[in-house]
Amino acid sequence: MKLFFVLMILFLAAVQGWAQPLKSLGLIGNRVQERFETLVQEDLSLLEKEGFYEAAKFFRNFPRELTYWTQDYVGDYRVKVELFALQYRDIGNLAPPEVAESLENFLESLRLGEEPLPQIIIRERGEKIFYLYVLPLKVKKSCLPCHGSRIRFQEELRELYPEDQARELKVGDLRGALVIEIAPEALNRFASKLSKSP
Protein backbone atom coordinates (compact mmCIF):
# COMPACT_ATOMS: atom_id res chain seq x y z
CA MET A 1 0.00 0.00 0.00
CA LYS A 2 2.85 2.37 0.87
CA LEU A 3 4.45 1.64 -2.53
CA PHE A 4 1.14 2.58 -4.23
CA PHE A 5 1.13 6.02 -2.55
CA VAL A 6 4.79 6.60 -3.42
CA LEU A 7 4.07 5.73 -7.06
CA MET A 8 0.97 7.95 -7.02
CA ILE A 9 2.98 10.91 -5.65
CA LEU A 10 5.67 10.37 -8.29
CA PHE A 11 2.97 10.22 -10.98
CA LEU A 12 1.34 13.43 -9.77
CA ALA A 13 4.73 15.16 -9.63
CA ALA A 14 5.43 14.06 -13.19
CA VAL A 15 2.01 15.25 -14.35
CA GLN A 16 2.47 18.52 -12.49
CA GLY A 17 5.89 18.92 -14.13
CA TRP A 18 4.32 18.48 -17.56
CA ALA A 19 1.32 20.73 -16.97
CA GLN A 20 3.08 24.03 -17.70
CA PRO A 21 4.98 22.83 -20.82
CA LEU A 22 1.79 21.31 -22.27
CA LYS A 23 -0.14 24.50 -21.55
CA SER A 24 2.70 26.46 -23.18
CA LEU A 25 2.65 24.23 -26.25
CA GLY A 26 -1.09 24.85 -26.59
CA LEU A 27 -0.53 28.59 -26.26
CA ILE A 28 2.21 28.55 -28.90
CA GLY A 29 -0.06 26.52 -31.18
CA ASN A 30 -2.93 28.99 -30.78
CA ARG A 31 -0.70 31.96 -31.53
CA VAL A 32 0.85 30.28 -34.59
CA GLN A 33 -2.63 29.43 -35.90
CA GLU A 34 -3.65 33.08 -35.47
CA ARG A 35 -0.53 34.19 -37.34
CA PHE A 36 -1.25 31.63 -40.08
CA GLU A 37 -4.80 33.01 -40.50
CA THR A 38 -3.39 36.55 -40.75
CA LEU A 39 -0.97 35.40 -43.47
CA VAL A 40 -3.83 33.70 -45.35
CA GLN A 41 -5.78 36.98 -45.35
CA GLU A 42 -2.70 38.85 -46.58
CA ASP A 43 -2.24 36.22 -49.31
CA LEU A 44 -5.87 36.55 -50.45
CA SER A 45 -5.48 40.31 -50.59
CA LEU A 46 -2.29 39.91 -52.63
CA LEU A 47 -4.12 37.49 -54.94
CA GLU A 48 -6.73 40.16 -55.71
CA LYS A 49 -4.27 43.05 -56.05
CA GLU A 50 -1.15 41.48 -57.60
CA GLY A 51 -2.41 38.25 -59.16
CA PHE A 52 -1.80 34.54 -58.82
CA TYR A 53 2.00 34.38 -59.18
CA GLU A 54 2.71 36.95 -56.48
CA ALA A 55 0.27 35.24 -54.12
CA ALA A 56 1.84 31.83 -54.85
CA LYS A 57 5.32 33.21 -54.13
CA PHE A 58 4.04 34.70 -50.86
CA PHE A 59 2.38 31.41 -49.86
CA ARG A 60 5.55 29.41 -50.49
CA ASN A 61 7.24 31.54 -47.84
CA PHE A 62 4.58 30.81 -45.17
CA PRO A 63 6.65 28.15 -43.34
CA ARG A 64 9.72 30.38 -43.19
CA GLU A 65 7.66 33.41 -42.12
CA LEU A 66 5.85 31.34 -39.47
CA THR A 67 9.15 29.89 -38.24
CA TYR A 68 10.77 33.31 -37.79
CA TRP A 69 7.65 34.69 -36.15
CA THR A 70 7.41 31.71 -33.76
CA GLN A 71 11.12 31.86 -32.89
CA ASP A 72 10.63 35.50 -31.98
CA TYR A 73 7.49 34.74 -29.96
CA VAL A 74 9.08 31.82 -28.08
CA GLY A 75 12.41 33.62 -27.70
CA ASP A 76 14.42 30.67 -28.99
CA TYR A 77 15.76 29.64 -32.38
CA ARG A 78 15.12 25.90 -31.78
CA VAL A 79 11.62 26.12 -33.26
CA LYS A 80 10.47 25.34 -36.79
CA VAL A 81 7.03 25.54 -38.41
CA GLU A 82 6.00 23.49 -41.44
CA LEU A 83 2.83 22.80 -43.43
CA PHE A 84 2.06 19.22 -44.45
CA ALA A 85 -0.80 17.44 -46.19
CA LEU A 86 -1.86 14.08 -47.55
CA GLN A 87 -3.47 15.81 -50.54
CA TYR A 88 -0.54 18.08 -51.27
CA ARG A 89 -0.30 20.82 -53.82
CA ASP A 90 3.49 21.00 -53.70
CA ILE A 91 5.35 17.69 -53.28
CA GLY A 92 7.50 19.46 -50.66
CA ASN A 93 4.44 19.51 -48.40
CA LEU A 94 3.88 15.75 -48.48
CA ALA A 95 3.54 14.66 -44.86
CA PRO A 96 6.33 12.49 -43.41
CA PRO A 97 5.10 9.18 -41.94
CA GLU A 98 4.62 10.35 -38.33
CA VAL A 99 2.66 13.44 -39.45
CA ALA A 100 0.72 11.38 -42.01
CA GLU A 101 -0.46 9.19 -39.13
CA SER A 102 -1.75 12.28 -37.30
CA LEU A 103 -3.50 13.43 -40.48
CA GLU A 104 -5.16 10.01 -40.78
CA ASN A 105 -6.32 10.36 -37.16
CA PHE A 106 -7.75 13.81 -37.97
CA LEU A 107 -9.62 12.35 -40.96
CA GLU A 108 -11.04 9.58 -38.78
CA SER A 109 -12.27 12.16 -36.24
CA LEU A 110 -14.00 14.08 -39.01
CA ARG A 111 -15.59 10.87 -40.37
CA LEU A 112 -16.99 10.25 -36.87
CA GLY A 113 -18.37 13.80 -36.72
CA GLU A 114 -15.83 14.87 -34.10
CA GLU A 115 -13.52 17.84 -34.07
CA PRO A 116 -9.90 16.71 -34.65
CA LEU A 117 -7.61 17.56 -31.73
CA PRO A 118 -3.93 18.54 -31.93
CA GLN A 119 -1.43 15.75 -31.41
CA ILE A 120 2.05 15.64 -29.94
CA ILE A 121 4.75 13.49 -31.51
CA ILE A 122 8.22 12.92 -30.09
CA ARG A 123 10.80 12.92 -32.90
CA GLU A 124 14.34 11.69 -32.38
CA ARG A 125 17.06 13.13 -34.55
CA GLY A 126 20.35 11.51 -33.65
CA GLU A 127 20.95 12.23 -29.97
CA LYS A 128 18.38 15.03 -29.87
CA ILE A 129 14.67 14.93 -29.18
CA PHE A 130 12.08 17.35 -30.56
CA TYR A 131 8.37 17.68 -29.96
CA LEU A 132 6.08 18.01 -32.94
CA TYR A 133 2.81 19.76 -32.16
CA VAL A 134 0.50 18.81 -35.03
CA LEU A 135 -2.53 21.07 -35.51
CA PRO A 136 -5.31 20.23 -37.97
CA LEU A 137 -6.04 22.75 -40.72
CA LYS A 138 -9.58 22.61 -42.04
CA VAL A 139 -10.80 24.13 -45.28
CA LYS A 140 -12.53 27.46 -44.85
CA LYS A 141 -14.53 29.46 -47.37
CA SER A 142 -11.46 31.60 -48.04
CA CYS A 143 -9.59 28.45 -49.22
CA LEU A 144 -12.07 27.60 -51.98
CA PRO A 145 -10.81 29.92 -54.76
CA CYS A 146 -7.63 27.82 -54.92
CA HIS A 147 -8.74 24.48 -53.42
CA GLY A 148 -12.46 24.16 -54.20
CA SER A 149 -14.38 22.75 -57.14
CA ARG A 150 -14.34 26.03 -59.11
CA ILE A 151 -10.68 27.00 -59.04
CA ARG A 152 -10.09 30.36 -60.65
CA PHE A 153 -6.48 29.74 -61.66
CA GLN A 154 -6.54 26.30 -63.32
CA GLU A 155 -3.78 26.90 -65.88
CA GLU A 156 -1.46 28.68 -63.47
CA LEU A 157 -1.84 25.92 -60.88
CA ARG A 158 -1.10 23.20 -63.46
CA GLU A 159 1.99 25.11 -64.54
CA LEU A 160 3.40 25.62 -61.02
CA TYR A 161 2.15 22.40 -59.41
CA PRO A 162 1.87 19.60 -61.97
CA GLU A 163 1.36 17.01 -59.17
CA ASP A 164 -1.37 19.04 -57.45
CA GLN A 165 -3.80 16.91 -55.41
CA ALA A 166 -5.35 19.70 -53.31
CA ARG A 167 -8.51 20.29 -55.34
CA GLU A 168 -12.22 19.63 -55.06
CA LEU A 169 -12.17 20.35 -51.32
CA LYS A 170 -15.19 21.58 -49.39
CA VAL A 171 -15.54 23.76 -46.30
CA GLY A 172 -14.83 21.60 -43.27
CA ASP A 173 -12.59 19.11 -45.10
CA LEU A 174 -9.12 18.48 -43.75
CA ARG A 175 -6.65 20.58 -45.71
CA GLY A 176 -3.52 19.50 -43.85
CA ALA A 177 -1.56 20.18 -40.70
CA LEU A 178 0.38 23.02 -39.22
CA VAL A 179 3.37 21.39 -37.51
CA ILE A 180 5.42 23.14 -34.85
CA GLU A 181 8.71 21.42 -34.09
CA ILE A 182 10.26 22.59 -30.84
CA ALA A 183 13.21 21.44 -28.76
CA PRO A 184 12.27 20.45 -25.18
CA GLU A 185 14.74 23.03 -23.84
CA ALA A 186 13.07 25.80 -25.84
CA LEU A 187 9.62 24.72 -24.63
CA ASN A 188 10.75 24.51 -21.00
CA ARG A 189 12.39 27.92 -21.23
CA PHE A 190 9.20 29.43 -22.66
CA ALA A 191 7.08 27.66 -20.01
CA SER A 192 9.36 28.97 -17.26
CA LYS A 193 9.11 32.50 -18.64
CA LEU A 194 5.31 32.19 -18.68
CA SER A 195 5.11 30.90 -15.14
CA LYS A 196 7.11 33.90 -13.89
CA SER A 197 4.98 36.48 -15.67
CA PRO A 198 2.01 37.92 -13.75
What whole-number distance in Å separates Cα of residue 198 and Cα of residue 183?
Answer: 25
What's the burial of 112, exposed, middle or buried (CB within 10 Å: 0-12/13-18/19+)? exposed
- Percent of the chain, pLDDT > 70? 89
pLDDT surpasses 70 at 111: yes
Asked whether the beta carbons of 182 and 133 are under 8 A apart, the reply is yes
CA 51/CA 73 separation, integer angstroms: 31
Checking if the pLDDT of 46 tops 60, the result is yes
Q: Comparing 24-33, 65-74, 138-147, which segment has the lowest mean pLDDT? A: 138-147
The full 3-state SS of 154-180, as one line of letters, equals HHHHHHHCCCCCCCCCCCCCEEEEEEE
- Work out the mean pLDDT of the chain and round it to a whole number: 84
What confidence tens digit (pLDDT) does each residue in 122-165 have?
888 888 889 899 999 998 888 877 787 787 788 888 888 888 88
Q: Is the pLDDT of residue 2 over 60?
A: no
Query: Measured between alpha carbons, how far is 70 from 107 in angstroms, rounded to an integer?
Result: 27
The architecture that CATH gives domain 20-196 is 2-Layer Sandwich (3.30)
**Residue 9: pLDDT over 50:** no
What residues contact residue 53 under an 8 Å CB cut-off, 6+ apart? Answer: 156
Q: The pTM is what?
A: 0.85
